[in-house]
Structure 1
Amino acid sequence: MADNPSVLLVEDDTALASMVQELLEGEGYAVLAVHDGQRALHEGLSGSFDILLLDRGLPAIDGLDVLGRLRAKGVTTPVLILSALSNPADRVEGLDRGAEDYLGKPFDVDELLARMRSLLRRHTAISDAVRIPGGLLERANRTVTLDAGSVVALSERECELLAHLARSPRQIFTRESLVHTVFTDADDDGVVDTYVHYLRKKLGRSSVLTVRGLGYRLGPLR
């Protein structure tokens, strides 16, 4: 995981969104806030985030529809629904549609932060070893074990870039989204091309595929 866990915050109440964004950034999260379902779907499909905080009642596309479409496209980002619809039937519906957790509004700030920490711990434990086409990425020791038997050592940045691509292997990631989630201290998106080059040298040119005009996605290892 990157030093600053990344959050996609989807909330149509702009005052509440600003408050939550300020709170989370004060806790060390990198937050992208959007205010309608269409933008949420776009960002969820084109970016890579550690947590998605999702309101249900959104303009353009309902929050549960956004969630369903993301899951249908293979996006596994853990989702915490924040909603005024918080009776048991509403919570069950949200969890059945693919959310990992559900918190009713108004919510206690400390409880929100605790639930987010819990999601991060669970998701990190699951994703420490990631199966990728042609090998296994082990984040704890920053290595890729190829199916052919050889082991390739990665730098921290190379490992994080590969892990973000592998988290949603069918997604196309723009350079801008990768800067936002992996290279948060970079001055421009040229650093993405540099580390794609490094990964290709170590794992083969097909390990990271270029989608012309859009960005990059995971490919098979050599």
Structure 2
Amino acid sequence: MPASGALDLLLIEDDPQLGPLTRDVLAESYRVTLVADGAAGLDAGRSGEFDVMVIDRRLPSRDGRSIVAALRAHRVTTPILMLTALGTVGDRVEGLDAGANDYLVKPFDFDELLARLRALTRVFSAEGAALPVGEWTFYPDDDCIVSPYIGRILLTPRESALLRLFAQHPTQTFSRRQILRTVFTADEQPGTVDSYVHYLRRKTDKDVILTVHGQGYRLGAL
């Protein structure tokens, strides 16, 4: 049984084995509602009764990406983690572009799922260290950025680490190689940097990071 004051979680998953198993694991920390149909899941998500959602990409009657997009169009700002068996960069970008805050590729470890949910639902402290990004306020320790227009936007740890690099050095241009060495791992490809710049732009604004042709990237002016 979840502890008193546990958050309400909507799980939209149609797999007859994974759905109930995931529900039972999450139920130790959350009050979980499991819905196995895409259209019914969208209706549940629109209710505004949930603190966080976990949505499978492939669902009957309506796929997960369109559910996320419809929820965002309905101005539902609840943090959403998307589960997907599609692990390519393009598939991840589509999910993030639709409005998901994070994604996890199947098969996954439940400890990682729980950790990502904790990160998504963590309440940031206004007293924490803040960095200005134009008119926005970035809280690197809480993996979120606050827009003057739409409020708090959650970032993944890697997105946050990348934005921290730019925000701490607002006038410096970084090459892809420098960014890989500082934020990512040495064995990753330069395209990883481009992907995460894309993720940040989609979650915030296209001008949050500027491309300096022939040199790399630098912080933009929102």
Normalising by the residue count of structure 2, what TM-score does the alignment of the two structures yield?
Answer: 0.53
2:49 aligned residue: 48
* Mapped partners of 2:19, 2:101: distance in 1: 21
* Mapped partners of 1:108, 1:99: distance in 2: 20
Secondary structure of 1:43's partner? Answer: helix
* Mapped partners of 1:70, 1:115: distance in 2: 20
* Mapped partners of 1:96, 1:86: distance in 2: 15
Alignment counterpart, residue 14 of structure 2, candidates 12, 15, 26:
12
Deviations 1:69-95 (A, max 9, x none): 110010001000011011111111101
1:150 aligned residue: none
Secondary structure of 2:5's partner? Answer: coil
Give the letter aligned to residue 124 of structure 2.
Answer: A
Which is helix-richer, 1 or 2? 1
Give the letter aligned to residue 75 of structure 2.
Answer: G
2:138 aligned residue: none
* Mapped partners of 1:15, 1:65: distance in 2: 24
1:39 aligned residue: 40
Matched, 1:93 2:94: yes
1:141 aligned residue: none
Secondary structure of 1:125's partner? Answer: coil
Answer yes or no: is the 8 Å Cα contact 2:53–2:81 preserved in 1: yes
Give the letter aligned to residue 63 of structure 1.
Answer: G
Give the letter aligned to residue 115 of structure 1.
Answer: R
Normalising by the residue count of structure 1, what TM-score does the alignment of the two structures yield?
Answer: 0.53
Deviation at 1:125, TM superposition (A): 2.5
* Mapped partners of 1:56, 1:25: distance in 2: 21
Give the letter aligned to residue 94 of structure 2.
Answer: E
Deviation at 1:126, TM superposition (A): 8.2
Runs of 4+ aligned structure 1 residues displaced above 4 Å come to: none
Deviation at 1:14, TM superposition (A): 2.0
Give the letter aligned to residue 25 of structure 2.
Answer: L
Query: 1:85/1:126 Cα in 2 relative to 1: closer, same or farther (>3 Å)?
Result: farther
Percent of matched pairs sharing the same residue: 48
Backbone CA RMSD of aligned residues: 1.8
Give the letter aligned to residue 7 of structure 1.
Answer: L
Deviation at 1:62, TM superposition (A): 1.1
Give the unaligned 5+ runs of structure 2.
Answer: 127-150, 152-222
Secondary structure of 2:45's partner? Answer: helix
Give the letter aligned to residue 34 of structure 2.
Answer: A
